[in-house]
Amino acid sequence: MTEELFRDYWWLMFPVFGMVIAILGAARDSAYQDRVIREAREKLERK
């Protein structure tokens, strides 16, 4: 059963892996943007 499932759908690993990488990249980019905005806000509040 498992071998047949893998044999029929092995090619799905690539799009799923791509989606996981894209989600991780989007999350990292969002965290970077949040940090930049937070630092800019802190600098503006100090002045």
Q: What is the DSSP string of 18-43?
A: HHHHHHHHHHHHHHHHHHHHHHHHHH
Q: What is the pLDDT of residue 6?
A: 87
Q: What is the pLDDT of residue 27?
A: 95
Tokens at residue 25, please?
């990249």
Chain segment 14-41, per-residue pLDDT in tens: 999 999 999 999 999 999 999 999 999 9
Q: What is the pLDDT of residue 1?
A: 84
Please determine, for residue 5, whether its predicted confidence score (pLDDT) is greater than 90: no
Q: Which residue pairs from 8-16 have beta carbons closer than 8 angstroms and sit at least 24 positions apart in sequence?
A: none
Please determine, for residue 47, whether its predicted confidence score (pLDDT) is greater than 90: no
pTM over 0.95: no
